[in-house]
Amino acid sequence: MSQSAPVHLVREAVRREKAYRVPTQTGIAAKLDQNESPYSVPADIRDAALAAVREEPWNRYPDDRPHRLVAALAERWGADPEGVIVGHGSNEITHTLGLCFVDPGTPVVLPTPMFSLYTSVMRMFEAEIHEVGPEADLTHSPAAILAKAQETGAALTVVTTPNNPTGQTIPHEGLRQLAAGVPGILVVDEAYHEFLSGPTAMDLLAEFPNVLVMRTFSKAMGLAGLRVGALVGRPELIQEIEKARLPFLVDRLAEAVALAVLDREDLLQARVAELLSERDRLAESVGAMEGCEVLPGKANFFLFRTPLPHADLRASLAADGINVRDVTSYPDLAPRDGRPGWLRVSVGTPDENDAFLASLRSHLQAA
Q: CATH code for 266-366?
A: 3.90.1150.10
Q: How far apart are CA 279 and CA 186, in angstroms?
A: 30
pLDDT for the residue numbered 287: 97
* Alpha helices (runs of H) in 198-306, residue ranges in sequence order: 235-242, 252-262, 265-287
CATH code of the region 43-263? 3.40.640.10
Every domain of the chain with CATH number 3.90.1150.10 lies at 266-366
User: What is the pLDDT, as a whole number, of residue 1?
Assistant: 60
pLDDT for position 27: 72
Contact 317, 306 (CB under 8 A): no
Contact 100, 122 (CB under 8 A): no
Smallest CA-to-CA distance from 254 within 44, 53, 91, 57 is with 53
Say whether 231 sits in a helix, a strand or coil.
Answer: strand
User: Which residues of the chain are under the pLDDT cut of 70?
Assistant: 1, 24, 26
Give the rounded percent of residues in the chain with a pLDDT score beyond 90. Answer: 86
Rounded alpha-carbon distances, angstroms, from residue 61 to 48, 52, 58, 65, 246 = 21, 16, 7, 11, 13
d(CA 88, CA 329): 27
CATH 3.40.640.10 domain span(s) along the chain: 43-263
